[in-house]
Amino acid sequence: MNQSVFDIILSYTSRAPVDVRGLAKELGILVKEEALPEERSGSIEKKDGKYIITVNKSHHPNRKRFTIAHEIGHYIFHSDYIELGAIVDDKLYRDERVGGENETQANKFAASILMPESLIKCLMESGVNTIDGLARELQVSEQAMAIRVGSLNIPEEPQEPINV
């Protein structure tokens, strides 16, 4: 059965926390952890016909999850740049070929994969209605969750409001 990328992503974003490593594997991307400089989060490259995401093994698990999702975003939206060589993402240096707009696109994609609106709403309906509670359930940072909730048009429930 040949599923579309959209169908594969959809199948992984219906359960919390999203299995981002499983998603990468199903898309045919190898994920490996290596010792990298502290400021480097990760990279994606195509080597011998295979895509490889490398993440910094010393980073927090939530950071690693975001990096993997971010690099999957590059895989989906910027494969032409990957064909030219690895895309490296770190705090001080961004690959010159992948401009700010592409980095923003990969970040927004990562947020939508790790924190799907439907899962956030489902968690809220089940009583998880604080930023820290949602972040814990979805295994993301509180900062990332606050940004994501702020960007969504989620109607306020009669329960305790989310404090952003």
Q: What is the pTM of this model?
A: 0.84
Residue 128 included in any domain: no
d(CA 77, CA 9) in angstroms, rounded, equals: 14
Residue 62 is part of which domain span?
Answer: 5-115
Residue 157 included in any domain: no
What is the model's pLDDT at position 153? Answer: 75
What is the model's pLDDT at position 87? Answer: 63
Residue 39 included in any domain: yes
DSSP notation for the chain = ----HHHHHHHHTTSSSP-HHHHHHHTTEEEEEE---TTEEEEEEEETTEEEEEEETTS-HHHHHHHHHHHHHHHHH-HHHHHHS-EEEESS-B-TTS-HHHHHHHHHHHHHHHS-HHHHHHHHHTT--SHHHHHHHHT--HHHHHHHHHHS-PPPPSSPPPP-
What is the model's pLDDT at position 123? Answer: 94
Residue 162 included in any domain: no
CATH of the domain at 85: 1.10.10.2910
Q: How many domains does one find in the chain?
A: 1
Summarised one tens digit per residue, pLDDT across range 14-43 is 999 999 999 999 999 999 999 999 888 998
Residue 130 included in any domain: no
Residue 145 included in any domain: no
Residue 30 included in any domain: yes
Residue 123 included in any domain: no
What is the model's pLDDT at position 12? Answer: 94
Give yes or no for a contact between 15 and 115, defined as CB atoms under 8 angstroms apart.
Answer: no
Confidence of residue 3 (pLDDT cuts 50, 70, 90): confident
